[in-house]
Structure 1
């Protein structure tokens, strides 16, 4: 992997390049919209602006301000309680590799796992549209039960609401979950250091493209299956092989590009990705090329991005690849000290470009 952060720049242009990087660094998502749009649910810049201006402003507290995949709450035992919640509005309700039911379990289990927790219990709340077939609802509940059993968690409470025809697009599901983080385990952006290595546990963009193709709105055919899966077991494999692991995140809405931007901003570092190292299946890459979508911004539901110390990267990669869910794990980049709070992509042509957070919503309602 190259050790160069910036491509060679003629001396006369270096000052201009640095000025542009500094201007980019100062850019912060701000809420300027008067109404909510689909982009506010995409996990990118618009989402960040909405959360900052509305929800953080209303509910500000120390646990919430961490903006992690879940809240970490101290227990008298020295362990921590991880608490996460998420809502699922994916359309269609079934797609190759999963359904809104299995996704609702996997998504919350994975949020807990990204906190370093061992997930234990879930709640499930359903908003059901009048006229929704009971047989289809029962099938989705069966999907949830199977996913929960496979993930080693139990659905212990819930709620059901029914709304008028046309008010919910069939069914929406919200799950919340809790799990325990063992004493001494801490995964956080402030632990990330220059020289660390960035890993991904598998191929990018499978879920988003699978759901998009399942809608049938595009005249495209490709053999793409969602990667939706519970990741807690794979996280334990990683932490056993690389106990110094610094940070974890599952790149759902907004994809790898957006979560790397969140990391760079929170840790005050540069995340340098290598384009040639990004693992993308050929059908996914082909669909993205045809649609003009960058796989870096496409959602995943069974992958994580990890930052590990350089000396533990080899062991981490070997352990991940030995697990069925980590067979395509790859080193995709490194952490650098400069330029702070910037994500760079070293291209296959020998240059580099800035990777911004997702702007807009190219694939709405994919989770």
Structure 2
């Protein structure tokens, strides 16, 4: 059961009466997003499932399965970037949100909001990417909707994808299953998606080999769950607010002390260089092809070995652990031998990167 302070959520000061307005930072996945959800969304819509604030809701279905349901909106700009585009992003993100809930994804719904004047050839490129990513994942688009808005009322193309999947009834992945001694495992280098998009937007003249990591992770995750499912306690993909935001959330939601080791967190040299140019911390930059698995420490090495057998897990490694303290704090052991507290970014470092 989620603790009462998490159910209540952070609050805005009289959000419905003080004239407060939405800012870009409210969509960044950081503390301001939490305030918006806690101050406006949950007071109106809150219930036992929504209050858990997990990436997918898991509902009763039958004796053998439960139903996983998720939805996400994609407004990335530019819509095309090295390594992918908004179409690949929309499929991968929703497939991954289902997969980290322990679900086998079954189907996707795709909604398109198109701006008047969008070249049809651009839409065709996006739809080709949707088809390719859907084929890679083995998860079809089975329904959808299309709307067009007037010139200047939207920025090119927005996509919304919803997905459904099935979870075995004996599989429960939840922050309250995280235990002292558990290991945190990631499948590869961090920061590549957000940095790629920001370079394309802010420094298009830079010739970089950096590419977004956007990819559907369901086959990798299924391999891990098939072999080691009993040892996996929780999973989440490290999207908005990056690895730092994910780890801070895990500590808060589980009530456990979590430690990350900066020396072993994989970051490619080109990503570190891009982060330095943009003045960003790779720990706080979004990923779209990275999963963090919290698992029994006695199975961590086997899980890493299994992940490394897959193309999307070649650089899998243990990056941290869960401590004995129940203080809900996340800290980082730094490269220079220090320690610092990890918190979710307050606002929006990287607007519209997904």
- Aligned mate of 2:45, from 25, 39, 59: 59
* 2:118 equivalent in structure 1: 132
Q: CA deviation at 1:256?
A: 0.8
CA distance in 2 between partners of 1:330 and 1:91 (Å): 31
CA distance in 2 between partners of 1:360 and 1:60 (Å): 23
* 1:344 equivalent in structure 2: 331
Deviations 1:308-348 (A, max 9, x none): 00100010011111110001111110001226111100112
* 1:146 equivalent in structure 2: 132
Deviations 1:265-299 (A, max 9, x none): 11110110001011000011111122221111100
Contact 1:204–1:296 (Cα < 8 Å) also in 2: yes
* 2:141 equivalent in structure 1: 155
CA distance in 1 between partners of 2:124 and 2:242 (Å): 31
Equivalent residue runs for 1:134-213 within 5 Å = 134-213=120-199
Contact 2:10–2:39 (Cα < 8 Å) also in 1: no
Residue segments in structure 1 that go unaligned for 5+ positions in a row: 1-27
* 1:309 equivalent in structure 2: 296
Contact 1:200–1:329 (Cα < 8 Å) also in 2: yes
Contact 1:241–1:315 (Cα < 8 Å) also in 2: no
* 1:260 equivalent in structure 2: 247
Residue segments in structure 2 that go unaligned for 5+ positions in a row: 1-8
1:298 aligns with 2:285: yes
Q: CA deviation at 1:360?
A: 1.8
* 1:44 equivalent in structure 2: 30
Q: CA deviation at 1:61?
A: 0.9
* RMSD, aligned α-carbons: 1.5
- Aligned mate of 1:226, from 181, 190, 212: 212
* 1:16 equivalent in structure 2: none
Contact 1:245–1:309 (Cα < 8 Å) also in 2: yes
Deviations 1:60-102 (A, max 9, x none): 1111111111110011233110000000000011111111011
Q: CA deviation at 1:31?
A: 2.6
Instruction: Give the match's secondary structure for 2:251.
Output: helix
Instruction: Give the match's secondary structure for 1:242.
Output: helix
* 2:12 equivalent in structure 1: 31
* 1:359 equivalent in structure 2: 346
CA distance in 2 between partners of 1:258 and 1:31 (Å): 20
Instruction: Give the match's secondary structure for 1:340.
Output: coil
Equivalent residue runs for 1:51-90 within 5 Å = 51-90=37-76
TM-score normalised to the size of structure 1? 0.90
Contact 1:275–1:346 (Cα < 8 Å) also in 2: yes
Q: CA deviation at 1:219?
A: 5.5
CA distance in 1 between partners of 2:56 and 2:43 (Å): 18
Q: CA deviation at 1:216?
A: 4.4
Instruction: Give the match's secondary structure for 1:215.
Output: helix
The verdict on how the C-alpha distance between 1:95 and 1:218 changes in structure 2, with shifts beyond 3 A counting, is closer
Residues matched between the structures, number = 341
